[in-house]
Structure 1
């Protein structure tokens, strides 16, 4: 069999993109705390599957209204104790006073958790919009300032390439990200998106506004189209017509859906890598295989010294 036209060195041939072997990428992974012992086992298996890829950090989310506060703390503490991974704990302004936040971050610091993802947070169930807790913080800028005064945390924050649903305008949204940076944020992680140009234009606008911290694209492989559609309505992400077409009639065909999802996410990341992006943050939904396949496509290979203990 004669094979020709195989793309190398990150070039494009016959429409196929491949990773540039000279452009090493860095990744991080987001998990949410499991709600049962059975799910906890599956979650840990996913973590162990991804650990050998050597992520910069793994973050653990924090439910609306602080509903998973204890489980989040337990999980990041376990990651710190039992693995070589760097854990990052999500922290929100919702449902907690300043005194409660101070106690929480003191526990994190004493447990060796030195990286926090500081967010305003979604409204608790039953509420339509965010309202500051009495005695709490009005938003993420105040929270970041408080964190940096108490301890020298590394602080990551969120940002929205397609504008935060509550923002008055795209300019106001960019300005608020600048305020987060000025308050002490060291990294911004985007909400998920599907069009690489949306991210690249957002970064250009942020740089023009004086934002100099890394802006890491948040990548969400499509494990369920119905869930993606639901998530997008909540956060303002546009779902392109081509994506809807690709996942038509695949709700009951998980094998094909996963193949399509891996293709879509890999193409998205490879386009971003070709544009110069070197950091990627993956929303895993506590599932490893899709994320692992995309990372493999980006050129990442297992590193034995990053395997969990």
Structure 2
């Protein structure tokens, strides 16, 4: 990665001054949620949404279960966010176990509900660990899905990127080539899977640029408060968990408040180092819990705006 003079100055300041001293908040943030399974989870989700709404995110996204297992709940959540908040809502959409007609129907329903942003994904196999198999009458992969969405409506489309390579990719070069196919098919941006090393992101960004990818690559940030759960997620997406993270969380199993403090500190420091390298957009995987993402944004200088101001923006 080649740093500009201003980035070198910022990097120097990040090392010389307290990491979060006078952060200007000159960045855009977005948040990911998953659709609730119960009334209690629904209440928790909406508490999280209302907590984060005053931060004026660029958008919020809602995940989609394997094989369309959360189709109705995802649609209902996205539609309600669009209807009841000032935040643009993005819906995840996958290719798994669905024909093109079925996927197109879901996309058309989103368009009719006023949703204009889709996160287009290949999706994971319904049975964890089994090889991915495209539906014989469906979209073959995420690039194919992006092209199909572009034929339907002028959606804004985000796709996934994997700084440490997707587990199904043969090589890092093959992984970059797959990302380029998705961008060339019409995607507006890529959002990365989570990672814990700023160098992993910067190396990936440089490889993407060398391959001719000019679309923005937004880092996905996962505040970790449960290492075992994170390890499970990491195994599915090819992310590496450093040994020092295990050691930091040792002895905190029965201390949730301490775990949260450690988690916020780790994620905020990662964001601070990405910021020093020129990153100005961050996407947070909230797991439907707002306080960690809110604390990280606060340390980065992102402050609430009155909801009525957000709505008028």
TM-score above 0.5, yes or no:
yes
Structure 2: stretches of 5+ with no match in the other structure: 1-9
Partner of 2:116: 114
2:172 to 154, 165, 170: 170
Equivalent of residue 48 in structure 1, options 23, 44, 50: 50
Alpha-carbon RMSD across the aligned residues, in angstroms, is 1.9
Unaligned runs of 5+ in 1: 1-7
Match of 1:82?
84
Q: Paired residues, what number?
A: 302
Residue 228 of structure 1: aligned partner: 230
CA distance in 1, matches of 2:36, 2:240: 28
Q: Matches of 2:53 and 2:182 in 1, distance apart?
A: 30
Q: Give a deviation string over 1:81-115, Cα, whole Å, max 9, x none.
A: 11111000000000211111111111111110010
1:216 paired residue number = 218
Is the contact between residue 30 and residue 59 of structure 2 (CA under 8 Å) also seen in structure 1?
A: yes
Greater share of residues in helix: 2
Q: Quick check: 1:187–1:213 contact (8 Å CA) kept in 2?
A: yes
Q: Which residue of 2 aligns with 1:298?
A: 300
2:133 alignment counterpart: 131
Q: CA 1:308 to 1:274, structure 2 compared with 1: closer, same or farther past 3 Å?
A: closer
State the 1:248 CA deviation: 1.1
Q: CA deviation at 1:23?
A: 5.8
The alpha-carbon distance between structure 1 residues 291 and 209, as it changes in their structure 2 partners (threshold 3 A), is same
The TM-score normalised by the length of structure 1 is 0.94
Partner of 1:149: 151
Q: What SS is found at the alignment partner of 1:73?
A: helix
Call closer, same or farther: CA 1:10–1:307 in 2, change over 3 Å.
farther
The verdict on how the C-alpha distance between 1:197 and 1:305 changes in structure 2, with shifts beyond 3 A counting, is same
* Aligned residue runs from structure 1 range 173-252, under 5 A: 173-252=175-254
Contact 2:92 2:119 in 1 (8 A): yes
Q: Deviations over 1:25-64 (max 9, x none)?
A: 1000000000001110110000000000000000000001
